[in-house]
Amino acid sequence: MNTHVTTVCRIGQGHACCRYLGAGPSGLECFKLNGPLRDALDARVAVGTMVARGDNCEGRDGAALREPS
């Protein structure tokens, strides 16, 4: 798995896991740069209906999350 996903996104670490990490058609993606999805995820965190609550970086291109690092 990509080092960024494990150390920055913190996949599998409960509330520390980045709320914007998700699965897309090509694999893992960052939804922070996608306005409508970002807003929906932020709203769910605000009302406590998500486990992943982190906001861990400035956002990434999805390809960067799938490349080995």
What pLDDT, on the 0 to 100 scale, is given for residue 48? 97
The number of folded domains in the chain is 1
Each residue's pLDDT tens digit, 25-59: 988 999 999 899 999 999 999 999 999 999 999 99
The CA distance from 50 to 69, in Å, is 28
The CA distance from 57 to 66, in Å, is 16
Domain around 23: 3-66
**Token pair of 12 as six digits:** 């599998």
- DSSP letter (8 states) at residue 27: E
